[in-house]
Structure 1
Amino acid sequence: MTVICVDDEALILQRTVTMLKKTKKFDNVEAFMEVKEALDYLDGASAQLALLDIDMPEMTGLELAEKMKDKCPEIKIIFLTGYSEYAVDAYAIHASGYLLKPIGYDKLVAEINYVLGQVQAETVSAPSKTSGTRVRIETFGYFNILVDDKPVVFKRNKAKELIACLVDRQGKFVSRKDLFYIVWEDDDYDRAKQKYLDTIIRSLRDTLEEYKISDIFEMEKGLMRVVPEKFDCDLYRFLNKDRKAIEGFRGEYMSSYSWASETEGFLSDSLNM
């Protein structure tokens, strides 16, 4: 796992890097004082986490985060700053975490654990080994399916988005046409697109078969759905008022998909009720 740290103050940058290495959570820690160098790095590599100073002269950390997400959409962002008034702006662009300087080691570790989903994984009761539940679906932050705690790799991004949409529909059957218009929005559902949708569905089914989890997906007479009882999901536990799931929601839901904003708003509003 790779983490990027960007700060224009050399001493603070070095201290942050030292603390990151001390956690022993990362295979690679990359440090940059220049935002251009950090962006250039992402042209040829990927990173799972970035710690960004907000107040930098060349480009603000908020602007840098947006550019980083363009290059590496699933990167998680923790902002580091001495100014608490930046918090609202940070979460407006779906920051995963936020720390005020000076940063303490314990707080840094806690925030990294939270952002990477480790706290949630540790506090949620593990399924019984005899229950057959091997599949965990994450929707808070970015969408991922994990089998025995290992992420499922989809050959086609649209196949992943398709099943993400079905997870969002919470087990309800959705027609092929309706699903197409949700995922492809304003595109026309013509014969060519129907054939393309067939290709995406086949790719999805092939991937689920490969990971031996085809039972989480059902399709009959042109209708599709996921089977909620076949997997664990943070969204469903949140809706069932599970305390740990509610604490695990940080205002960010399936961040890669524009159609997920309605559910994200509902979840956020639920916290304020």
Structure 2
Amino acid sequence: MKVVVVDDEELLLDDIIEQLKEMPEIVSTVGFTDPEKALEYILHNEVHVAFLDINMFGMDGMTLAAHVQREKPSVSIIFLTGYSEYAVEAFKLRASGYIMKPVSKEDILTELANLRPVGMRRDLGRVRVQTFGSFWVFANGVPLRFSRSRSKELFAYLVDRRGAAVSITELASMLWEDREYDKSLRNQIHTFISDMIATLRAAGAAGVVVKQRNSVAVNVDAIECDYYRYLDGDPQAVKSFNGEYMTNYSWAEYTTAQLVRSQEED
């Protein structure tokens, strides 16, 4: 089991790490006093359990946990705190455990023995969409390969529309603006829609797209998206926007302009 411990009090951090090192089931333990550095490590390394102090300078443990759950939902979160009033909020985040300080070896063993299985936690971030810069879709952390580039572009447009139902005629006018809308184009668009849905279904993400007879939409609750988090005011998403949005597609320039304008106003 690979573990990360985050606590801005270095003495407490070292004490917990020493206790973990005595446990044979722990393969590796990495400690951080800086939550930002901890998040970066967790996102780019294999981590099974994260012990997070709730009260920290800068990013607090609740915020850090929310980021981890979005990006790496397989990581079990165990909160550390000296304040019992955080318990309700911690379990709203579906944490696997909650330890009151001072932390004892027995407390750690109890929480590790009762980790909530991954399948019982919300599957946040199963499909992750990157819109800042080039457009990418990830399923379980792996880039999703669409067999047709138009199928990928169609999905990008649905993401841009943020759950609004998009008709076949709108898709034709936006993505095939240089072609006359006729039966041939309509059938072709239906083929791309079917291909897009088949690609998502093969990745275990069939519920990401909602298809009706003459329209299609993305299920915004089924994906994790930097654009959506930006609109929600998420600090990390706001920081990650550098003026580029879906650079693969010319039709995305309108949204890009809106994002740049909002950034300048802030």
Alignment TM-score, normalising by the size of structure 2: 0.56
Moved more, 195-204 or 248-257: 195-204
Q: 2:145 aligns with which of 153, 169, 175?
A: 153
Query: Which residue does the alignment assign to 2:178?
Result: 186
Alignment of 1:165-184 (within 5 A): 165-184=157-176
Query: Which residue does the alignment assign to 1:131?
Result: 122
Give the counterpart letter for 2:179 in structure 1: D
- In the aligned structure 1, how far is the partner of 2:123 from the partner of 2:142? 16
- In the aligned structure 1, how far is the partner of 2:41 from the partner of 2:225? 15
- In the aligned structure 1, how far is the partner of 2:251 from the partner of 2:237? 22
Give the counterpart letter for 1:159 in structure 2: S
RMSD across aligned C-alpha pairs, in angstroms? 1.9
Alignment of 1:205-220 (within 5 A): 205-220=197-212
- In the aligned structure 2, how far is the partner of 1:182 from the partner of 1:120? 39
Q: Secondary structure at the match of 2:216?
A: strand
Deviations 1:17-57 (Å, cap 9, x if unpaired)? xxxxxxxxxxxxxxxxxxxxxxxxxxxxxxxxxxxxxxxxx
Give the counterpart letter for 2:225 in structure 1: C
Moved more, 128-137 or 238-247: 128-137
Shift of 1:121: 5.3
Deviations 1:199-219 (Å, cap 9, x if unpaired)? 111111111111110100001
Q: Any stretches of 5+ residues in structure 2 without a counterpart?
A: 1-39, 45-63, 75-120
Q: Secondary structure at the match of 2:171?
A: helix
Query: Which residue does the alignment assign to 1:267?
Result: 259
Shift of 1:119: 9.0
Which portions of structure 1, spanning 4 or more consecutive aligned residues, are displaced by more than 4 angstroms? Answer: 118-123
Shift of 1:150: 0.4
Deviations 1:107-153 (Å, cap 9, x if unpaired)? xxxxxxxxxxx799567433344112211100000111101110100
Query: Which residue does the alignment assign to 1:34?
Result: none
Alignment of 1:47-86 (within 5 A): none
Alignment of 1:237-252 (within 5 A): 237-252=229-244
2:42·2:68 contact (CA, 8 Å) conserved in 1?
Answer: no
Q: Any stretches of 5+ residues in structure 1 without a counterpart?
A: 1-117
1:233 to 2:225 alignment: yes
Instruction: Name the count of aligned residue pairs.
Output: 156
1:120·1:245 contact (CA, 8 Å) conserved in 2?
Answer: no
- In the aligned structure 2, how far is the partner of 1:121 from the partner of 1:186? 42
Shift of 1:223: 1.2
Relative to structure 1, is the Cα distance of residues 121 and 178 closer, same or farther in structure 2, using a 3 angstrom cutoff? Answer: farther
Shift of 1:248: 0.3
Alignment TM-score, normalising by the size of structure 1: 0.54
Identity among equivalent pairs (%): 33
Query: Which residue does the alignment assign to 2:134?
Result: 142
Query: Which residue does the alignment assign to 1:48?
Result: none
1:218·1:227 contact (CA, 8 Å) conserved in 2?
Answer: yes
